[in-house]
Amino acid sequence: MFKKLLNEYEDLSYKSSITILIIFVLVTYLPLFYNIYNLGIQDFDYNFFTLNVGMDAFTKHKEMPLFNFFDQGGLPLLATPFSRSLSPFNIIYFFLDYIIALKMELILHLLIAACGMFFFLKSYKFRNDASLIGSLLFSLNSFHSLTIAQGQYELLSAVFIPWLFFTLRERKLLSFSVIWSIVFLEGGVYILAISLLALAIYTLLNKKKMVILNSALFIMTGLFVSSALTAIKLVPSLVYMKNHPRLIDDFSGFSFSSAFHSLVNKQQFITDTTDVTITQNFMNKMKFITDDNSLITGMDYGWDENGMFIGWIFFFILIISLIRYFYQKKYMRELCIFFIFSLIAMGDRLTPSLWRGLKFFAPFESMRHATRFRVILVLFMAMFISALIHEFLIKNKEKHQKSLTITFLLLTVAVSMSVVNFNVLKTAFNIKPLTNLTQQNFHFEKSWLKNKVYNKSTAAGFYPAYKENIGLTFSKENHAHDINAIPISEPSYQGEIVDESTIVYNYKRTNNTLKFNAIKNHTYQVNMNYFEDWECENNCNITERNGRLEVSANETGEILLRYNPLSFKIGWIISLLSVLFISALKLKDSSLDKLFKKNIDIFLKKIS
């Protein structure tokens, strides 16, 4: 029967291809569920902490996650561009333990990557089996597993990039806009910027002027619709970043050797310690890998900012495809994007530097790593490899050779990617659940230092501190602001709410409110960072003193402070009206896609 199957093989069906995709993704990322309640390492601590604060705002306080008392002396939460508090995937957290929900969400993202890449490749009319290989190369790429292991969940939205290209090619405006919206609500600001640059180049390199204009108007309309839909977060974020810009100017970028090792070296890992000497020792053992600034031998930061494994076999297929299509002048748009993004990813190592030019524009000015542009390289590497496999299978008339080729390539993907991803994920969630956490009276500390194993892997301990009702003043570089709240260990610390020398112990706090009883004409110092969007709803005035909140009581009685930014109100109204408008189109048996097509056709006819 197996011999018969070999001789009769023509192509995989859609159903078989999607089934194989799902199976491969689930099996490859199975290590996530080995110890399902275990916590993660590195940036997991901070990102899981902010996720907990945001979800608790919904479930415990029944309010929007606008403010975070526990973060670096008290910070806006929703307005932070990297916040995931309004991610549509957060609905999972209402039904499952947060850590289990997180791991379920990770798997869903990877399945979305696999399916999106498959449909993107099918839009080129590739065979199902060739598209399957490309989608596995993208979805099982170490870019994703390293992102997960590092805990950089805001970069997970990279899984939507194939969907953006697919919906652009298919002219599905509503889907395009919704995907943009999801990426932003997931905190994928950098992914948005990288994707927009890639889509813009992809559009401008089209040979037909009218197609360029059509695509450009499509992208701009999609951005406009997405901005309207996400205004509830976008408007507060724009105001916050205007007042607190984050500028980073570190040296970064691929060298030839680090890019090569990132593609073929199976020893990619994220260490479960914050000690950077482990990565440096690894580089010292590797030939042609150093920590200098050379274009030939240097490597900056760890594998999480470099890895994009495809393995030796697919590396050679990639090289052949690049040479072939360059001389055939085929897929020239895609080749140009690949070349441009390769130059950008080399960052400061290349002179003159395209990366340095992008740093003049937001949000690239706050991006540390030029190597993050490699996600576009991974996308098109998978596309070129799929194209070459497609051509080989089309030209080859021997059915059993086709079957053997696909079987070999699928096994190669399965084995090589599983080995690399297992190596990456085996320590990604190796911190056992913290069971000895005790509730305390709220106060600030510099960092949470009660568990050496946990802090060895996370630096600060935001998550366990939050679980113990402790805020931290540990400075995270993803915010540009002064931390003025005073930790309890400082000699100048007096209390969280102080009336001259008298400490107010009885107060109530939610994410967005603070209540306490005050005495007429008394002034109270609140130990948290001052932000002008705090309002007093009854009988008091708010001012700033030494970077902290100061409250003057006009009457004796309860004082209610509420974080209620005008930018949120404006954004909420815009988002609501946008949803109502799109819903009204649907009720009128119309759609955003039909409306765009009708008006764009009229516009293009007038100018043609």
Asked if residues 557 and 518 have their Cβ atoms less than 8 Å apart, the reply is: yes
Q: Say yes or no to pLDDT of 278 above 70.
A: no
Asked if residue 338 lies in contact with residue 205, where contact means CB atoms within 8 angstroms, the answer is: no
Per-residue H/E/C for 351-363: CCCHHHHHCCCCC
Maximum mean pLDDT: which of 293-302, 327-336, 555-564: 327-336
pLDDT at 215 over 60: yes
Residue 260, pLDDT > 50, answer yes
Percent of the chain with pLDDT over 90: 61
Question: Region 47-64: what's the mean pLDDT?
Answer: 95
Strands (E), 34-137: 67-68, 75-76
What is the pLDDT at residue 44? 93
Q: Are 95 and 101 in contact (CB under 8 A)?
A: yes
pLDDT at position 6, please?
Answer: 44
Q: How far is CA 258 from the centre of its chain?
A: 23
Burial of 448 (C-beta count, 10 Å sphere; 0-12/13-18/19+): buried
Q: What is the 3-state secondary structure (H, E, C) of 167-236?
A: HHHHCCHHHHHHHHHHHHHCCCHHHHHHHHHHHHHHHHCCCCHHHHHHHHHHHHHHHHHHHHHCHHHHHH
Q: Which residues contact 70 (CB under 8 A, 6 or more apart)?
A: 49, 53, 462, 465, 466, 470, 471, 472
pLDDT tens column, 148-187: 999 999 889 999 999 999 999 999 999 999 999 999 999 9
- What is the per-residue pLDDT for 285? 56
Calculate mean pLDDT across residues 389-400. Answer: 86
pLDDT score of 341 more than 90? yes
3-state secondary structure 485-535: CCCCCCCCCCCCEEECCEECCCEEECCCEEEEEECCCCEEEEEEECCCCEE
Per residue in 515-531, pLDDT (tens digit) is 999 888 899 999 999 99
Q: Cis peptide leading into 363, omega within 30 of 0?
A: yes
For residue 173, what are the contacts with CB-CB under 8 A and spacing of at least 6? 167, 218, 221, 222, 225, 592, 593, 596
Residue tagged 């100048």 (tokens):
492
| Mean pLDDT value of segment 322-327 | 96
DSSP 526-579: EEEE--TTEEE-SSEEEEEETTEEEEEESSSEEEEEEE--HHHHHHHHHHHHHH
Q: Are 306 and 258 in contact (CB under 8 A)?
A: yes
The partner residues of 557 in beta bridges, in order of sequence, read 518
pLDDT for 401 = 81
Look at residue 123 and tell me whether its pLDDT is greater than 90.
Answer: yes
Q: What pLDDT was estimated at residue 594?
A: 73
What does the mean pLDDT of the chain come to? Answer: 89
| Amino acid sitting at position 270 | I
For residue 462, pLDDT beyond 70: yes
Q: What is the DSSP string of 27-59?
A: HHTGGGGTTTT-B--TTHHHHHHHHHHHHHHHH
Given a contact cutoff of 8 angstroms between Cβ atoms, the answer to whether 10 and 401 are in contact is no
- pLDDT tens-digit map of 87-118: 999 999 999 999 999 999 999 999 999 999 99
Rounded CA gap, 556 and 423, in Å? Answer: 62
pLDDT tens digits, one per residue of 3-53: 444 444 567 788 888 899 999 999 999 999 988 999 999 999 999 999 999
**pLDDT given for residue 478 in this prediction:** 60
Q: What is the pLDDT of residue 583?
A: 84
pLDDT at 199 over 90: yes
Higher pLDDT, 396 or 549: 549
- Which pLDDT score is estimated for 275? 59
**By three-state DSSP, how is residue 67 classified?**
strand
Where does the pLDDT of residue 2 fall: very low under 50, low under 70, confident under 90, or very high at 90 and above? Answer: very low
Q: What is the pLDDT, as a whole number, of residue 281?
A: 60
Q: Is it the case that residue 447 has pLDDT exceeding 60? A: yes
- Measured CA to CA, the distance from residue 198 to residue 366 in angstroms comes to 19
Q: Computed over its alpha carbons, how large is the radius of gyration of the chain? A: 26
